[in-house]
Structure 1
């Protein structure tokens, strides 16, 4: 079976500082995978290369059967990759409804596409605040909007970078509930987060990054069976 995403021997850095040293990652369509590791280990650099914000020095990124290595971010997005960025990055002067309408598209040809109305069904709080500006929303509401904004592009791959960071526990659980529903619907998801116990319940496969290399990769069952690995590589 051909992988939806195949990252092979990726090397990248900033000037003379190399950050990634031959990193590999593979995902099948419909899979939920995680990228784990302490801060500064290379996760953000990998996402920057994947999303087209920086070009790797060597290696290949193949997405939807096309070599997208070094492609610009807008071209990768049109192919079907959507990012929920760290820090949410909603537009302060656009309303909730304007955010969702501006990004709505069905480039993947989904039979049951994510529409603005469907996002409101997933996050009723957004429907209640449809006329509110981005700057008027709470942190949790902004995170829901960032996820909804990505979903209405109907991505083949949804990438979430620290989507639960800084949220109250109840709001965090609402985000996890959303991801459970997306998984059940067959959405391919790559998650960067630190809540290992919750990620074990959500994901199929995990990749632990240490100093720009893959330190460990395996299933949720394997990760659950090695709590000492959490302490060694994740500090939890």
Structure 2
């Protein structure tokens, strides 16, 4: 099986400051995967390189078999990569409905594409808040909206950066349930988060990042068999 997303020996950084030193990561079609590591280890830098916001100094990034390092961000998104960014970045002066419809597309050519109605079924709270402005939502509701907005592009791969950061445990649980539903539906997902126990219920495959390198990757069974990895790379 060819990878959906493949990062090989990626080196990049900011100005003269190198952050990634030969980073490797793969996500397979239909897989739920994680990228795990302490703050400042290079997770967000990896995503910025994937989305064309940072140049690859060396190595390569492939999506759907095509090299995307060096491609503009807009082109990469149009290929079917969608990001739920840290901090959500919804449009505060648009309604919930307008936020969802702003980038609606079927970039993966799904036979049963996500629509406003199916997003409302996934997140009933968004239906209730349809006419509210983005800045009138709670943090958890904004995260639901950010996920719904990304799904409305019908991506091949949905990437979530700090998926449940700063939201209540109740809504965090709802988002984990939604991610589980998405995974069971065949949606490929890459999640960055710190709640490892919840991630192991959702994800098939895990990769650690430490100081811009990828020291370990494996499936749930392999990770469960090496609990010392949790302390070494996450401090948990």
2:96 is the alignment partner of 1:130: no
Alignment partners' CA distance in 2, 1:209 and 1:24: 9
2:48 is the alignment partner of 1:37: no
Structure 2's unaligned 5+ residue stretches are none
Alignment partners' CA distance in 1, 2:127 and 2:235: 38
Structure 1's unaligned 5+ residue stretches are none
The question of whether the paired residues in 1 share the 8 Å contact of 2:107 and 2:156 is answered with no
Aligned residues: 236
Question: Aligned ranges for residues 120-199 of structure 1 at < 5 Å?
Answer: 120-199=120-199
1:91 counterpart residue number: 91
Alignment partners' CA distance in 2, 1:204 and 1:103: 29
1:227 counterpart residue number: 227
The question of whether the paired residues in 2 share the 8 Å contact of 1:96 and 1:132 is answered with yes
Alignment partners' CA distance in 1, 2:201 and 2:163: 16
Deviation >4 Å, runs of 4+:
none
Alignment partners' CA distance in 2, 1:108 and 1:158: 11
Alignment partners' CA distance in 2, 1:166 and 1:152: 24
Alignment partners' CA distance in 1, 2:107 and 2:192: 25
Deviations 1:119-141 (A, max 9, x none): 00000000000000000000010
- Using structure 2 for the length normalisation, give the TM-score: 0.98
Deviations 1:149-177 (A, max 9, x none): 00000000000000100111111000000
The question of whether the paired residues in 2 share the 8 Å contact of 1:104 and 1:116 is answered with no
The question of whether the paired residues in 2 share the 8 Å contact of 1:49 and 1:70 is answered with no
How far is the alpha carbon of 1:235 from its aligned partner?
A: 1.0
How far is the alpha carbon of 1:19 from its aligned partner?
A: 0.6
How far is the alpha carbon of 1:98 from its aligned partner?
A: 0.3
